[in-house]
Amino acid sequence: MPKKEEGPKELWTRYAGGILLGGCIALGLCLLLLLAASAAIYLGALKESHMDRITLAACVLGTFLGALWAVKRCARRALPVGAGTGAVVLLLLLLVGSLAFHAQPLENGGVALALACLLGGCGAGLCSQLMTPRRKKRRK
């Protein structure tokens, strides 16, 4: 919740902390969803040929949930906070991919991954804006 005595420095710190922590939560959720998907493929419930679509869906859903948490923590500016969380998740995924596989991530479907991260983050920002009730102005 925003505080009235909060200055611009504290406000910026709260937004940055919310976006970074929301991005880490989103990355963890993405990885958990991918772990569940790989277990389902191992057990034969899913085909391995669907893995690229499953990866994008896990990225959208994980980013959506992490961005919802970040938007709730920041309490204002829902769309920029959601988009920022999506960008943080994308950067973390690109960092992990380049460190683990020594490959350029944009060569292997990185554009679709970028769109999935930004779609999940912006979707959470828009949903939270639509779900919050508007306060009516009081007339004197």
Structural domain containing residue 62: 13-130
Is the pLDDT at 21 greater than 80? The verdict is: yes
What is the reported pTM? 0.82
For residue 30, give every residue at least 6 positions away whose Cβ sits within 8 Å of its Cβ, in sequence order, or none: 58, 59, 61, 62, 63, 89, 93
Helix (H) or strand (E) holding 51: helix 51-74
Q: Is residue 51 part of a domain?
A: yes
- Residue 5 lies inside a defined structural domain of this protein: no
Structural domains of the chain, count: 1
Q: Has residue 72 been placed in a domain?
A: yes
Q: Is 102 a domain residue?
A: yes
Residue 74 covered by a domain: yes
Is residue 107 in some structural domain? Answer: yes
Is 42 inside any structural domain?
yes
2-20 mean pLDDT: 75
pLDDT exceeds cutoff 70 at 3: no
Summarize pLDDT for 32-54 with one digit per residue, the tens.
999 999 999 999 898 988 888 99
Q: What is the pLDDT of residues 53-90, one digit of tens each?
A: 998 999 999 999 999 998 888 877 888 888 999 999 98
Find the range with the poorest average confidence among 85-89, 99-103, 134-138.
Answer: 134-138
**Look-up of token digits 């034969």:** 44
Decide which of 9 and 128 is more confident: 128
Q: What is the mean pLDDT of residues 6-25?
A: 82
